[in-house]
Amino acid sequence: MFGRLRQGFAGAAMGRCRLGLVLFLLYTIPSTDCQNFYTDMKYALQMLCRLLDLLIARGLLLGLVVWLFSAPSFAAGPAKPGANAASPLDALQLSVKNWVAQSRKVSPEQVSLAPLDARVKVRTCDKALAMDLPFSSAETVRVRCSQPVWQQYVRVSVAGKAPETLAQTKAVMPVEPAKRWVLVASMPLQRGMTLNETHVQRAQVDASIMPVNVLEQSSEVLHAEVVRDVRPGEPLRSHDIRPTVLVKRGQMVLLSVGQTQGFQISARVEAMQDGRFGEQIKLKNRDSGRELSGRVQGPNQVMGL
């Protein structure tokens, strides 16, 4: 192809050369010497045309080489403004790395980002990107743009550091343990001792180490006796005490009747059995021999039923 092109250019150049020389000779050379001059100039014209042919061929070859080496630059075209600017994806990843590095007190080189879904196309944000941790784990960063509005979640990891949770990143205030008012022994209590209000006191203790069935009011130990030894300051539980014996068999006790109806009748009767506070026992009227029932209300005191 290049040979044909060269021949075409060479032929055209020779034709122009010959035509120009002929016209020059016709108008400048006398007719008597025209034949001889034409014969002499024929060879000179051939040499000149061959020289032109060689020059044209070399010029075409040089032009082809120059065109081949400069073709990539022409194809690339002039650089557009901002062609080297970072893509939206690169800008997002750089912002996330810098934000995580600053918040975790590490270098950006320690921060690695998980690849985004190939189907997700990151758009350019006209405003500064905002980042936060929406979940309890610090491994997921939410990136938000206000103009245009969009958001993207990015998984991150920091080399050399264990995964953190959102609770760990915040300052944890010490929580004071919950307190509870309970009844504790104010002195050493021995088994079988009958209790009253002077033997106990109320105190605040840690609710997390509180045993079950703890007593809270001093009235709960009235007419009760201890069933085991209790150290001072130790909380009292319901199974540490039991009602004490207030009425013994054969004793004369005071029986009260009708107190709930607005009147009261009292009589001395004999207890037929032992009775603790709140227990129901049998009684006997010695004068009439009649048997009765009553509930123990205090030392040698019974409420008729």
pLDDT of the residue at 297:
86
Q: What is the pLDDT of residues 138-173, one digit of tens each?
A: 888 999 999 898 998 899 988 876 555 545 545 555
**Strands, DSSP E only, in the chain?**
111-113, 130-132, 140-146, 149-158, 179-185, 200-206, 224-226, 241-243, 245-247, 252-257, 265-271, 275-276, 280-284, 291-298, 301-304
Position 252 confidence tier, pLDDT thresholds 50, 70, 90: very high
Look-up of token digits 């075209």: 77
Average pLDDT over residues 89-115: 89
Of 4-13, 23-32, 121-130, 203-212, which gets the smallest average pLDDT?
A: 23-32
Beta bridge partners of 241: 226
Determine the topology of domain 179-243 in CATH: Type Iii Antifreeze Protein Isoform Hplc 12 (3.90.1210)
Question: Which range, 9-13, 68-72, 259-263, has the best average confidence (pLDDT)?
Answer: 259-263
pLDDT of the residue at 32:
43
Average pLDDT over residues 100-128: 87
Q: What is the pLDDT of residues 281-304, one digit of tens each?
A: 999 988 888 898 999 988 889 988
Sequence ranges of the chain with CATH classification 3.90.1210.10: 179-243
Residue 203 token pair:
């105190």
Q: What is the pLDDT of residues 174-213, one digit of tens each?
A: 666 788 888 899 999 999 898 888 899 998 888 777 777 8
pLDDT of the residue at 73:
46
Determine the topology of domain 246-304 in CATH: SH3 type barrels. (2.30.30)
- Gap between the terminal Cα atoms of the chain: 135
Beta bridge partners of 141: 154
Of 108-122, 158-172, 270-284, which gets the smallest average pLDDT?
A: 158-172
- pLDDT at residue 118 above 70? yes
- Cα–Cα distance measured from residue 280 to residue 67, given in angstroms and rounded to the nearest whole number: 124
Of 11-15, 94-98, 177-181, which gets the smallest average pLDDT?
A: 11-15
- pLDDT at residue 265 above 70? yes
- pLDDT at residue 112 above 80? yes
- pLDDT at residue 74 above 50? no
- Cα–Cα distance measured from residue 9 to residue 6, given in angstroms and rounded to the nearest whole number: 5
Sequence-separated (6 or more) residues with CB below 8 Å from residue 282:
271, 272, 273, 291, 292, 293
Q: How many CB atoms lie within 10 A of CB 304?
A: 18
Between these two residues, 79 and 201, which has the higher pLDDT value?
201
Residue 205: exposed, middle, or buried by beta-carbon count in 10 A (0-12, 13-18, 19+)? middle
Q: How many CB atoms lie within 10 A of CB 55?
A: 12
pLDDT of the residue at 174:
62
- Cα–Cα distance measured from residue 272 to residue 251, given in angstroms and rounded to the nearest whole number: 8
Q: What is the DSSP string of 8-64?
A: HHHHHHHHHHHHHHHHHHHHHS-TTSHHHHHHHHHHHHHHHHHHHHHHHHHHHHHHH
Q: Are 45 and 18 in contact (CB under 8 A)?
A: yes
Average pLDDT over residues 119-136: 87
User: Can you give the pTM of this predicted structure?
Assistant: 0.37
pLDDT of the residue at 77:
46
pLDDT of the residue at 227:
92
pLDDT of the residue at 281:
92
Sequence ranges of the chain with CATH classification 2.30.30.760: 246-304
Query: What residue spans of 77-200 are helical by DSSP H?
Result: 88-104, 166-169
- Cα–Cα distance measured from residue 131 to residue 156, given in angstroms and rounded to the nearest whole number: 13
Average pLDDT, the chain: 77
Helix (H) or strand (E) holding 4: helix 2-28
In which region does residue 262 sit, left (phi positive, over 0), alpha (psi from -120 to 50) or beta (all else)?
left
Q: What is the pLDDT of residues 14-67, one digit of tens each?
A: 555 555 554 444 444 444 444 555 566 666 666 766 776 676 766 666 666 666
DSSP letter (8 states) at residue 209 = G
In which region does residue 66 sit, left (phi positive, over 0), alpha (psi from -120 to 50) or beta (all else)?
alpha
